[in-house]
Chain A
Amino acid sequence: MNKESAYWMVLAHELPTWSFSNKDGWKNEDKMNLIIQFYHDKKMSIEDFFGLPEDCWKNDFLINEKQITDLRNAKSSIANYAFLSENLQHNGIEVIPVTSSEYSKTLKENLKKSAPVIAYIKGSRQIMSNKSIAIVGSRNASDIALTFTDNIAKQASKEQKVVVSGFAKGVDKQALDSAIAYKGQSIIVLPQGIMTFESGFKSYYKQIIEGDVLVLSIFHPKAGWGKDLAMARNHIIYGLSKEIYVAESKPSKNRQGQETKGGTWAGVIDGLKKGRTIYVRQPNVTEKNDNPVLIQKGALPVDIEGNIIGRSETIAETLTEIPNTQNNDKSFSDKVKEILLHGQLSANDILKRLKLDWKSDKLTRELKKLDFIETRKEKNKIYFALKNAKQSSLFD
């Protein structure tokens, strides 16, 4: 257990949160900026940071009076959090701060400064470093959507990819059950505090100890289920996954009885806005759901096996192989974009990752046709990168 976990918990949970009614509150980004300042720039531990006199906070970190008051209040509860932290430790729950090498790299890369300050996990940490896909969809999904979910989970398990799901009814539950049935690995992302998941830990005991299931939550360990939490949890599911598959987006009714687009819809729209590639199952004409609208908005249609519609590749192929004809420019450029999201690469690296048997000058020619690529020269070597992309990602 991280001996600073009580400090991290305080930073995550004890600072007043920004909202429309509390504009002095802390946004996640503000916390991340503070972490970058002390951890990244000043190479200081969180314990040392909290041990600094308030003058230093003010002068060296340029923290304003209101925030200093917030930090002071938070500091006074570190001892209280030590008790809770010990309890977590005793129950095999780990607190993973964003600065830890155990923290999911995918999560960090996808969410940047909106990545959670800490993640609570129980299970094999290893799961977080494996390739992952999310399968999302409605709580009252149709049979065909559940079959789709099963197909995708089966294929993912075969390819040793982790299935990330949200432990709701319907698609989430199917994704988890299928991954377990096919001896794959799963991450359950909770819409609640991790200490309130007792019955789940009981049900998945064997899978957890065998290293097949990891339970993750970003909320206060004792927080009960809430709608806000469920929405925030969807963001984490997307963040934890390299690929996102949508089984079915359906309208649902809120507590007032009004029809809403539902959580899946909101998640996909948000994901598309952020430039994520999202695969949506192409429904039959008789189905009533919002999948077609999502496809219209830019999600990629896939068939019941997860193949991109109009081509005959399996999911595996779409991910790992790029057809080497000029006709497939679009998918080539998509793939290049995707692999460069994580940073610059040399021509050879790109050839390897895309499994192309081209000569490197052919690749260079093709890359130069793409307007979002720039070349960089470092120590006489040429690298390709996305225009305007930062050299390295956060906290690396």
Chain B
Amino acid sequence: MTRRDAEILLRKTFGLPNFYDEQWLTIEKILNGERILLIEKTGFGKSLCFQFPATVFSGTTVIFSPLIALMRDQVRKLQSLGIATKCINSEQTQEENTQIINDAKCGKIKILYIAPERQENNEWIEATRQINLSMVVIDEAHCISVWGHDFRPAFKRIINLVNLLPKGLPVLATTATATKRVEKDIARQIGDGISIIRGNLMRNNFKLFVIKVDSDDEKMIWLGKNIEKMPGSGILYAGTRIDTEIYSKWFEFLKISSTAYNAGLNADSRIAIENGLMKNQWKCIISTNALGMGIDKADIRFIIHTQIPQSPIHYYQEIGRAGRDGEIAYIILFYNPNDDRRLPEAFIESARPSIKKYEKVIETVKSGLFGERELMKQTNLKQNQIRVIKSDLIEQGIIRETIYDKAKKYEFIPDSQPLNTKSFEELRAVKTKELDKMLEYVETKDSRMKFLCDYLGDNSNDMFTNCDNTGEKKIRVIVTPEWIEKLHDFRENYFPELIVESNDSNIVNGIAASYYGVSNVGNAIHKSKYENGGDFPDFLLWLTLKAFRKKFGQETFDLILYVPPTISGNLVKNFAEKASKILKIPISHKLQKQKTTKEQKTFENAYLKKDNVSNAFYYTEPNEISNKKIILIDDIFDSGATIKEIGKLLTETGAAKIAPTVIARTVGGDFI
């Protein structure tokens, strides 16, 4: 097919006038059955490079994409052009997916988007026996590389698949974010004479700013003052889930329309937020880096980071979604030199659990066939730790993940090499260097865009005049007493929620006076509990009651119960008695333990915590509970296992409502 012929087809099918040279170069190679790695910036038109040939081929093109939101978006667009496109993903029903698979088998689908995890699905593997496959595309191919910013183990399988595909079947890997090192790594893994096409990654419609501050307060004040003045809508990236909650409450306090997004939300909420973003429902979305790649909105006008990301490549990726329409987009990074290195450093440090923990997992895997849950129970490791360990052990060929009875289990691989810890150290050294580079970005006196392009391996000689070092005005934070007052008011009235509601329990989401470790609340609790400091001080009682009144002040309650102690004697009992006197709600001491439990904090994961308290409680006079509205008091809320267990018991005994109220909620493992 000549370029002319192709462009005639392009106009007919896609309504576009012609290809860019780099697009045509790629397409020509695809039509020729070659393997290509295409690195082009967001908005370049990478998708067309596989969508066009897909319409020319007789069979089906399969696109592996990790991003359900992006899949949905592309499917919508292609369908509107009359191209038979579908996606298979975990957020559709089984029936929908089955129907799509059947259509693919009958040759009714030209372009099929699927998540890499789908390789685990039997129905899909069965279907692949009959699909007439024309091309394989790996979208977001940087996920293949551990040197990238978003390594995903499921992509390993796609690489294995690609290596098993016959010669002559075109394979295209695309990404918008790859350093030279990542580029080389992807090319090596896909192998077999792959050609690399790398475009210019410069985004000249960005206006880049760095705002240096001395405290989180300054960040909050600047945002409070200025976010409404920003054009259009945008994204505010915060470092942790807790931060997303705090910023969103702050904006709520200031009546700025915003919503919080993080990986902890369920699929429905995420879809609702993604849709709302598309429709500019809020001024901004406050998110951890869980949101980003998946958003295909052309007119994101600003992206603000309240925390420095781990590396310039993370940063480039996260800001990459702004201004896809080519219009001006504001890119702002806050940096507090006193404090802000801590979080990314902690990420890097905690990225690898101790070697002992690895060994523990290997031994456990050798002793039997277990799934993740059983592994966590046997090893008493946190979920995120076990996931890192598993992924490393799989990567090193020491264990493998297989499916038994539709459940994942982990097998030891006989004759495998011993654990190689050198690669962890190497990776840690590289990550630390990358963080240093990120700080260099903050401190640079030269063009920020050029800094990012150089880092990514672009050899551009463009003139860059789009940052606060090259012509744009520097931004400084001005703190006024009025704003200090506002922030103070907010802090006094902000209480963390306890998310415990479920369909099969009458427990409702509760409230805590504070986060443990964020204020002096944690210290005060610690003193009473572990340093013989006597009863919890009264200020904790006042703060807790204030939180309670804010959350439940409009409601009436019949009874106060408290969680019976494990080791702290009568601290909680005394605390609850005082609360009972002030609230004038009777207290009962009949909630008791029927088995010895250990302190929840000795268990690293939710499964063991749940087991620890399972059936641990009983109520001596169950009849008293019937139809009662109950306040349930405890000192610290961690995984919520204890509160939920008691909620279950009281629901079974007939309680109408259980409202948990605690002094502090731990920050726990809620990092992202």
Give me the interface of A with B, judged by CB distance under 8 Å.
1, 3, 5-7, 47, 50-51, 75-80, 82-87, 89-92, 123-124, 126, 198, 201-202, 205-206, 208-211, 222
Which of A79, A91, A202 is close to B165, meaning CB atoms less than 8 Å apart? A79
Beyond A78-B166, A87-B125, A90-B157, 9 additional contacts (C-beta under 8 Å) are: A3-B164, A6-B165, A6-B166, A78-B165, A80-B133, A83-B119, A83-B129, A85-B164, A92-B413
Cα distance A221–B129 in the bound complex, in angstroms: 12
Contact assessment for B414 and A51 in the assembled complex, using a CB-CB cutoff below 8 Å: no
Assuming the A-B contacts A92-B402, A198-B404, are A79 and B369 also in contact, with contact meaning beta carbons closer than 8 angstroms in the complex? no
Residues of the A chain whose Cβ atoms lie less than 8 Å from the Cβ of B534: none
Interface centre among A5, A83, A92, A201 (most CB of B within 10 A): A83
Residue interface bits B354-375, CB-to-A below 8 A is 1, else 0: 0000000000001011000000
Cα distance A80–B128 in the bound complex, in angstroms: 6
Assuming the A-B contacts A89-B160, A91-B402, A124-B414, are A51 and B130 also in contact, with contact meaning beta carbons closer than 8 angstroms in the complex? no
Interface centre among B132, B166, B169 (most CB of A within 10 A): B166
Whole-angstrom distance between the Cβ of B166 and the nearest chain A Cβ:
4
Residues of the A chain whose Cβ atoms lie less than 8 Å from the Cβ of B161: 82-83, 86
Cα distance A77–B169 in the bound complex, in angstroms: 12
Residues of the A chain whose Cβ atoms lie less than 8 Å from the Cβ of B130: 80
Residues of the B chain whose Cβ atoms lie less than 8 Å from the Cβ of A205: 368-369, 411
Cα distance A86–B156 in the bound complex, in angstroms: 11
Interface residues of B in 363-418 (CB under 8 A from A): 366, 368-369, 400-405, 411-415
Cα distance A151–B515 in the bound complex, in angstroms: 69
Contact assessment for B411 and A211 in the assembled complex, using a CB-CB cutoff below 8 Å: no
Which of B160, B167, B413, B414 is close to A86, meaning CB atoms less than 8 Å apart? B160
Cα distance A84–B133 in the bound complex, in angstroms: 14
Whole-angstrom distance between the Cβ of A377 and the nearest chain B Cβ:
44
Cα distance A297–B467 in the bound complex, in angstroms: 94
Assuming the A-B contacts A79-B166, A87-B119, are A209 and B404 also in contact, with contact meaning beta carbons closer than 8 angstroms in the complex? no
Cα distance A206–B365 in the bound complex, in angstroms: 10
Residues of the B chain whose Cβ atoms lie less than 8 Å from the Cβ of A78: 165-166
Residues of the B chain whose Cβ atoms lie less than 8 Å from the Cβ of A80: 128-131, 133
Residues of the B chain whose Cβ atoms lie less than 8 Å from the Cβ of A86: 119, 157, 160-161, 164
Interface residues of B in 155-178 (CB under 8 A from A): 157, 160-161, 163-169
**Minimal Cβ-Cβ distance residue in A for B127:** A83
Whole-angstrom distance between the Cβ of B251 and the nearest chain A Cβ:
45
Give me the interface of B with A, judged by CB distance under 8 Å.
119, 125-126, 128-133, 157, 160-161, 163-169, 366, 368-369, 400-405, 411-415
Whole-angstrom distance between the Cβ of B393 and the nearest chain A Cβ:
14
Contact assessment for A91 and B164 in the assembled complex, using a CB-CB cutoff below 8 Å: no
Whole-angstrom distance between the Cβ of A281 and the nearest chain B Cβ:
34
Contact assessment for B414 and A210 in the assembled complex, using a CB-CB cutoff below 8 Å: yes
Closest 4 CB pairs of A and B: A83-B128, A82-B164, A78-B166, A86-B161
Contact assessment for A90 and B119 in the assembled complex, using a CB-CB cutoff below 8 Å: yes
**Minimal Cβ-Cβ distance residue in A for B166:** A78
Cα distance A211–B401 in the bound complex, in angstroms: 19
Cα distance A18–B102 in the bound complex, in angstroms: 31
Assuming the A-B contacts A79-B133, A80-B128, A80-B130, are A91 and B167 also in contact, with contact meaning beta carbons closer than 8 angstroms in the complex? no
Contact assessment for A209 and B414 in the assembled complex, using a CB-CB cutoff below 8 Å: yes
Assuming the A-B contacts A205-B368, A206-B368, are A92 and B411 also in contact, with contact meaning beta carbons closer than 8 angstroms in the complex? yes
Cα distance A307–B126 in the bound complex, in angstroms: 50
Residues of the B chain whose Cβ atoms lie less than 8 Å from the Cβ of A92: 400, 402, 411, 413
Which of A50, A90, A211 is close to B160, meaning CB atoms less than 8 Å apart? A90
**Minimal Cβ-Cβ distance residue in A for B126:** A222
Which of A3, A83, A202 is close to B125, meaning CB atoms less than 8 Å apart? A83
**Minimal Cβ-Cβ distance residue in B for A51:** B167
Contact assessment for B400 and A90 in the assembled complex, using a CB-CB cutoff below 8 Å: yes
Whole-angstrom distance between the Cβ of B395 and the nearest chain A Cβ:
13
Contact assessment for B128 and A84 in the assembled complex, using a CB-CB cutoff below 8 Å: yes
Whole-angstrom distance between the Cβ of B165 and the nearest chain A Cβ:
5
Cα distance A58–B366 in the bound complex, in angstroms: 53
Cα distance A39–B554 in the bound complex, in angstroms: 84
Residues of the A chain whose Cβ atoms lie less than 8 Å from the Cβ of B160: 1, 86, 89-90
Whole-angstrom distance between the Cβ of A193 and the nearest chain B Cβ:
13
Whole-angstrom distance between the Cβ of B209 and the nearest chain A Cβ:
46
Whole-angstrom distance between the Cβ of B646 and the nearest chain A Cβ:
38
Cα distance A208–B132 in the bound complex, in angstroms: 37
Cα distance A5–B161 in the bound complex, in angstroms: 11
Residues of the B chain whose Cβ atoms lie less than 8 Å from the Cβ of A211: 414-415
Residues of the A chain whose Cβ atoms lie less than 8 Å from the Cβ of B415: 124, 126, 211
Contact assessment for B400 and A1 in the assembled complex, using a CB-CB cutoff below 8 Å: no
Assuming the A-B contacts A90-B400, A91-B400, are A5 and B164 also in contact, with contact meaning beta carbons closer than 8 angstroms in the complex? yes
